[in-house]
Structure 1
Amino acid sequence: MVKTTNVHGGNVHKAIRLLHTSLDQILDFSANINLLGMSSKGLDAVKDALQDVIHYPDPDMTHLYSITSELWDMPKECIAFGNGAAELIYAICRLPNIEAVYVPAPGFSEYSHGAHSCGLPVIEYELYFDADTFNFSYPLEQMLHDLNKSQNYLVFIGNPNNPCGTLWKYESRELFEVCKKNGHYLVFDESFVDFLGDAYSMRNYVKEYDNVIVVHSLTKFYAVPGLRIGAMMANPMVINFIKSQIPSWTVNHLAQIYSEKALQDIDYIQETRAVLTEEKKWLYKELMLMDSLQCIEPSVNYMLCHLDEQYSLDDMIQKLYYQSILIRDCSHYTGLGLNWFRVAVKTKEQNQQLIHALRSYFRL
């Protein structure tokens, strides 16, 4: 048996070592990356810019700030970039006067890791699971209760939340007002919101509330986790503090060049959303036809599933692994437990390979 557990999905490099294979033979459903791959316009720009890596990157990121300010309708002084969303999350945890970090369970592990790196206590709030609808939702009343009784928390909300895909759907401003009154920072992690569109983002609240922060990954939708680039939006005082906490040249030249072009690649953006809409419906339907699985209907490009307890998730993961298919073990997330796993939504051909492998495992 090979040891496959990782803090995150996407460790294809470990897989090729253990399986003695090549990168192009790995079918990675453990990382939630755009099923179309990179933007062709962005990729062409990277190829043209390769010779420029003999120079330091532009520390001012002038073009990137101009483009994103217009696209996101956000003043430049309210935007910061980092080496992926994770670097920004860690920097946010260093904001002054924070007494604790309030995180969703299940939720992205880097919220807690960022807190621990600063010596801050972590308080988890468990999402509500409805067994009848087989879905998670945010426990707004519990959150309001906890946040009314505390001060100076860093409050993380995944929108959508990873790994369950739960969206923040509350239109009430009560949470915003409670956080403002009690000195809490309200951080929306929108690393996957581009798969849905601007209408789902909370970034307009940045202009109204000095304590609202939005984290925005560019590696998921634009398919460049290996280049590393993320953004955040907040009031200028928060932005200036964050910039003081991250190194110079934190975003490399190729990541800047790629992002400038990919963010403006309208055809790529529209095609991604159209293809994803069809593929996530198809994959959800096919998985739900298997009696041994229950799945949460996906909001974006990943799906949280539960394997019937007559089966061993470790065994299923191993069987798929030896077929060079990687899925994400979610059994260690608080609020989940045994036999929960996550799969990305990929192309039709790749999704069909996953379905075939699972049917073979269940002998359907």
Structure 2
Amino acid sequence: MITGHGDDAYQFEHKIVSNFSSNVYNKFDLKDLKKFLWANISSIHSYPEPDALTLRKLISRKLSISPEEIGVTNGATEAIYLIAQAFRGSKTAVVIPTFREYEDACEIHEHSLYFIESLEDIEPDTQLIWLCNPNNPTGKIYDKEYLEKVISNNPNTCFIIDQSYAAFTNNKIWSANETLKHSNAILLHSLTKCYAIPGLRLGYITAQKDKIDKIKHYSMPWSVNQLAQLAGLYLLENVSYDFSDYLLESQRVQKQLAKVSGIKVYASDMHFFLCQLEKGKASDLKKFLIETEGFLIRDAANFRGLNESYFRIAVQDQSNNNLLVKAIEEWIRLSF
């Protein structure tokens, strides 16, 4: 799905003042990273490492696992498509509503797909399950003990756990070391989200070596460019993040918006949350916010399992968050 994601400001003539549609934290300070990359810009004259070995070694030290249990990818999205290719033709379940790329990648590689809303609904002979944790767009987080039980009880089913948003929760979630205890688990990680570098495309997979080898068999050399690899090395060694205040702001905004008549807010521990209009279309609300405030929200109608009444918000700074709540309230007042 090339179109239909958040962060689609390029499609609109109006200037976007604040982007609530993207789950990337756009207030992250990247000035030192930019200086570092500029100082190393001449490195683009050389090929990058074909399998990002130096970066894999650094990640392995950070996680206390082997470099052979890590595969660096061009964002988590490349990992999704590689996994779908490596398990081509599998009977596959996707826990919905969730990121559309799991479904799209599996369709390309001729999986026999079905969709579930609960891990209690896994059908017999299922070979692969896609699970986003924390989940986009709902913010749902699966308890570690529960995941352990489900994965252990389904040894013939491989669980793909996408934890691209792991940095944006204070909850205890599944880890790389827990993944490596299971031959039927693969964990997806994203540096795009926590370090706000979606334009560089950088992520990685952790799993037992045989799973990594199976997936890397389909990976092209140099898929992760030189600047992305350098950025990963720099960020992991020099930059930390703490989203505690950001998550508190999300809780505040959720409470404020829940007071607005005509809106249902689905509680989330994340920096983003899902909303539903009692009347009207999210696409009309989106258009109104762009034209009146320059605010961009995520129309969530194209998430399987949702409809045209749903939209997603990723909170921004307090001032624009307050203006957004007022603007949504105004749209409801004018429309109904």
TM-score w.r.t. the length of structure 1 is 0.84
Amino acid at match of 1:157: L
Aligned to 1:71: 62
* Aligned counterparts of 1:338 and 1:210: Cα–Cα separation in 2: 40
Q: How does 1:1-364 map to 2 (within 5 A)?
A: 6-15=3-12, 18-19=13-14, 21=15, 25-96=16-87, 98-126=89-117, 139-143=118-122, 146=123, 149-151=124-126, 153-169=127-143, 171-172=145-146, 173-180=148-155, 183-196=156-169, 199-266=172-239, 268-270=240-242, 273-309=243-279, 311-322=280-291, 323-363=293-333
Amino acid at match of 1:115: C
Amino acid at match of 1:12: A
- 1:292-337: CA deviation from partner (whole Å, max 9, x where unpaired): 211122222211001122x332321110121322111112323222
SS in 2 for 1:220: helix
Single out whichever of 311-320 and 40-49 deviates more from structure 2: 40-49
Amino acid at match of 2:180: K
Q: After TM superposition, give the deviation of residue 353 of structure 1 in Å.
A: 3.1
User: Between the two proteins, what is the percent identity of the paired residues?
Assistant: 27
* Aligned counterparts of 1:201 and 1:34: Cα–Cα separation in 2: 22
- 1:74-132: CA deviation from partner (whole Å, max 9, x where unpaired): 21110001111111111101224752221011111011001011011211002xxxxxx
Q: After TM superposition, give the deviation of residue 167 of structure 1 in Å.
A: 0.6
- 1:4-28: CA deviation from partner (whole Å, max 9, x where unpaired): x94211122222xx33x4xxx4422
* Aligned counterparts of 2:109 and 2:71: Cα–Cα separation in 1: 21
Q: After TM superposition, give the deviation of residue 264 of structure 1 in Å.
A: 3.4
Amino acid at match of 1:258: A
* Aligned counterparts of 1:197 and 1:204: Cα–Cα separation in 2: 18
Single out whichever of 167-176 and 234-243 deviates more from structure 2: 167-176
* Aligned counterparts of 2:199 and 2:75: Cα–Cα separation in 1: 10
Q: Check 1:340–1:96 CA distance in 2 against 1; reply closer, same or farther (3 A cut).
A: closer
- Residues 41 and 261 in structure 1, CA contact (< 8 A), matched pair in contact too: no
TM-score w.r.t. the length of structure 2 is 0.91
Amino acid at match of 1:11: D
Amino acid at match of 2:136: N
Report the aligned-residue RMSD. 2.2
Amino acid at match of 1:247: M
The number of equivalent residue pairs is: 331
Amino acid at match of 2:7: G
